[in-house]
Amino acid sequence: MRLKNKLLLILFSSVFAFVLGLYIAFFHLGLLEYLVNRQLRNIIAGNLPLKVNIGDIGGDYFRELVISNIQVDYDDGNSRYNIATIPTLRLQYNPSDFWRGVIRFNKIVIDSAQLTLTRGTDGRWLVPTPNVKGTGDKKAISFEVQELELASLRLRLLRPQDSLIFDRITLKAALEARDNTYALRLDTLSYRSSERKFNINYAKGKASLTGSNLMLQDLVLKTDSSDLTLGGQMTLTEGLTWKMLLQARRLNLHEGLSFINVNLSGDISAEGEVSYQDRKISGKAKISGTFEHRLFDSLMVAFRYFDKELSLDTLSGEILDGTAIEGRGDIDLGIKPERYHLKAKIRGFNLNNLVSDTYETNLNGDFDLSGSGLKGESLLLDVIVDLGESWFDEYHAYELNGAMAITTDSIRFQDDFIIHYKDNYFNVSGRLDYRGDIDLDGTTRFEDLSAFNRQTFIERMGGRADLSFKVTGAVHNPDIAGEIKSDSLWLYDIYSRQARIDFDMRHFLYDRDGSVNAELFNGSAYDIPFDTIILKMAVDSQFVKFEKAYLRNQYSEADSRGSLDYLSYPQVMKLDTLNLRLIELNAANQGEIVINIDSSGYAIEQCRLLRPQGALEGTGRVNYDDTWNLSFNAERL
């Protein structure tokens, strides 16, 4: 072989051996990993309190690198811990991009990594920060990651007292940095947390960071109990500020408010805007849903929140399943039980929708409410009302005015609570229990008693009267006792210029049982003047028993006993006993006297009076319009 050829062969063999040696050294004997680790140490040393070690580098090197067993340790000289363990980091790229000076990765995949942050004994998070501050402006780095995937990542936040762990973190995104702006397109994010309130089942959206300004666009968050979309701007400076547009298809209040240590329950939907500045949250929103098991139909709210005090500057809409409201209020959430105040105009308020198993109501007017507690036995509402026409259970009122206290077991009407019914004003005080009991005291002046015709066992009455009463027993059919004083009382066709009636009635609305005593002076009975009428009556269901009925005037005197069936039609009055003195003539009944009372007047069905000598018998009608038709039969008079 000629010398020239030998020299070429030796040179080629040497180059091949050198390249092969480099290949073996780099890719099989760990030289590449050694050089990379040394270079990383040189870059990080003196700049960051980190130690990075790469275990293995593989892949085809031209389009993909697979870096395995990456260990990142935090070490500031005083504290040391493993901040990251990355079993596999896969980088896919196009070499031509790097030749052209473009940092672009087609795909980065991090699989089964574990990240850890811990707090030192002084309470500070041990986070790596540069030890040496650079001088002058640094040129911004531009790069692009077209696909970023995190699979089965775990993040631990360790504190001396407890730990917070985020597990099974899965992320797919795209990341780009250009001209000091970092842009993120989040395609999917999910993870589980050791604290349930931090769980994210699904997230997607866009974000961009320029300097300290963070922009969020169409950020969808779905948790175990909430589903919402956010968009807005945050300023990431020492004085953090942000403003967000919120669309919550479902927002769980217990989950959301737990971040500010407020324990309230409910599920609402909301749409509006929220902002934060100087530790104050404010905004306005349209909400609907449930709050502490109470229905909010559709409510516009303008609010401010600071230091656990929530101010509701505007409340407008419908709450509690149909109650229209227009007002404002505030809630102090920093004390237990909570304290709050509401001043509003309401329409169609049903107490049973606020406190269940109470009374059906329809209240309309002005409410000034101060309360404490939002649930359970701690609920107490002190309310001053000025209401127009309203209904309470089956009771109708034209106006209601005064103070009352509402709890979970009763309503207490404070002194001088006024109820206006027709032309009469009732002053009441006392208690209504939700289990159905009532205990009320009251007074009123009737300007016209005819408003209550056919509402008691007395079908026709009228005139003025002062009433003091006490109502007890069951609300649906209460007991009532009291006294009536009048200077102009009408009972049927009996008129008195001075009257006093006391009554004690059990089951006032139906199945009545009790007593009524009346003393009437200076009047007329069926156009016959009298000086005195005394009535002692016992009421038993539909019957009124006249235990004593006494009448006296200048010329006559009568004393009788009997009964009235006032629920039949016509009403039937039967007198068992009648003793009559007219001037010096005496008479007494023989047999029962029967009189039917209908809407037109009186029908005398049976009446026979005996004298010491002779008898008088009569039948016929006496009408309310002063017409009459009577027949008499006299014997030996």
pLDDT of residue 452 exceeding 80, the answer is: no
Q: Name the packing angle between helices 31-44 and 3-27 (round to 10°).
A: 60
Structural domain of residue 45, as residue ranges? 29-125+141-178
Q: What is the mean pLDDT of residues 215-234?
A: 93
Q: Buried b vs exposed e over 29-52: b needs ≥16 C-beta within 10 Å?
A: eeebbeeebeebeeeeeeebbbbb
Is 8 part of a structural domain of the chain?
Answer: no
Q: Give Cα 328 distance to the centre of its chain.
A: 15
Residues 6 or more apart from 591 whose CB is under 8 A from it? 606, 608
Q: What is the mean pLDDT of residues 29-41?
A: 54
Q: What is the mean pLDDT of residues 118-144?
A: 69
Percentage of the chain with pLDDT > 90? 39
- CA neighbor of 569 nearest in space, from 607, 546, 591, 600: 600
How far is Cα 200 from Cα 170, in angstroms, rounded to an integer?
Answer: 10
Q: What is the mean pLDDT of residues 586-594?
A: 90
**Predicted pLDDT of residue 595:** 92
**Predicted pLDDT of residue 1:** 52
Is 114 part of a structural domain of the chain?
Answer: yes
Is 536 part of a structural domain of the chain?
Answer: no
* Long-range Cβ pairs for the range 420-424 (8 Å, 24+): 421/396, 421/397, 421/451, 422/398, 422/448, 422/451, 423/447, 423/448, 423/451, 424/448, 424/451
Helix (H, G, I), strand (E, B) or coil at 46: coil
Q: What is the mean pLDDT of residues 42-50?
A: 69
Q: Buried b vs exposed e over 108-131: b needs ≥16 C-beta within 10 Å?
A: bebeebbbbbbbeeeeeebebeee
**Predicted pLDDT of residue 178:** 86
**Across the chain, which distance is largest between two alpha carbons, in Å?**
184
How far is Cα 555 from Cα 569, in angstroms, rounded to an integer?
Answer: 34
Q: What is the mean pLDDT of residues 527-531?
A: 87
Percentage of the chain with pLDDT > 70? 89
**Predicted pLDDT of residue 492:** 77
**Predicted pLDDT of residue 45:** 61
Lowest pLDDT segment from 59-63, 82-86, 128-132, 313-317: 128-132
Q: Count of domains in the chain?
A: 1
Q: What is the pLDDT of residues 14-32, one digit of tens each?
A: 444 444 444 444 454 454 4
**Predicted pLDDT of residue 23:** 47
Residue 427 in tokens:
């002053």
Given pLDDT bands bounded at 50, 70 and 90, which one contains residue 466? very high
Judged on CB neighbours under 10 Å (0-12, 13-18, 19+), 579 is: middle
Q: What is the mean pLDDT of residues 587-601?
A: 90
Given pLDDT bands bounded at 50, 70 and 90, which one contains residue 575? very high
**Predicted pLDDT of residue 18:** 43
Q: What is the pLDDT of residues 176-222, one digit of tens each?
A: 988 888 899 999 999 999 988 889 999 999 999 998 899 999 999 99
Cβ–Cβ < 8 Å for 126, 107: no
Is 493 part of a structural domain of the chain?
Answer: no
pLDDT of residue 40 exceeding 80, the answer is: no
Backbone angles phi, psi at 359, to 5 degrees: -135, 145
How far is Cα 628 from Cα 603, in angstroms, rounded to an integer?
Answer: 10
Is 473 part of a structural domain of the chain?
Answer: no
Q: What is the pLDDT of residues 391-440, one digit of tens each?
A: 888 778 899 999 999 888 888 999 989 998 877 889 999 998 888 889 99
Given pLDDT bands bounded at 50, 70 and 90, which one contains residue 160? confident
Is 44 part of a structural domain of the chain?
Answer: yes
Q: What is the pLDDT of residues 137-158, one digit of tens each?
A: 555 578 899 999 999 999 999 8
Q: What is the mean pLDDT of residues 223-231?
A: 92
Q: What is the mean pLDDT of residues 580-597?
A: 88
pLDDT of residue 481 exceeding 80, the answer is: yes
User: Per the omega criterion (within 30 degrees of 0), is the bond before 130 cis?
Assistant: no
pLDDT of residue 271 exceeding 50, the answer is: yes
Greater model confidence, 636 or 462:
462
pLDDT of residue 35 exceeding 60, the answer is: no
pLDDT of residue 135 exceeding 60, the answer is: no
Is 280 part of a structural domain of the chain?
Answer: no
**Bridge partners, 386 (sequence order):** 366, 401
Residue 349 in tokens:
């308020």
pTM: 0.68
Is 327 part of a structural domain of the chain?
Answer: no
**Per-range mean pLDDT, top range of 5-9, 243-247, 292-296:** 243-247
pLDDT of residue 8 exceeding 60, the answer is: no
**Bridge partners, 290 (sequence order):** 267, 295
What is the distance between the terminal CA atoms of the chain, rounded to a whole angstrom? 182
pLDDT of residue 77 exceeding 90, the answer is: no
- CA neighbor of 630 nearest in space, from 606, 604, 609: 604
Residue 559 in tokens:
């004393």
**Bridge partners, 464 (sequence order):** 488
pLDDT of residue 331 exceeding 70, the answer is: yes
**Predicted pLDDT of residue 321:** 86
**Bridge partners, 502 (sequence order):** 483, 517
Cβ–Cβ < 8 Å for 391, 413: no
pLDDT of residue 37 exceeding 70, the answer is: no
Beta strand residue intervals within 199-277, DSSP E = 200-210, 213-222, 227-235, 241-252, 266-277
**Predicted pLDDT of residue 205:** 96
Residue 584 in tokens:
């010096």
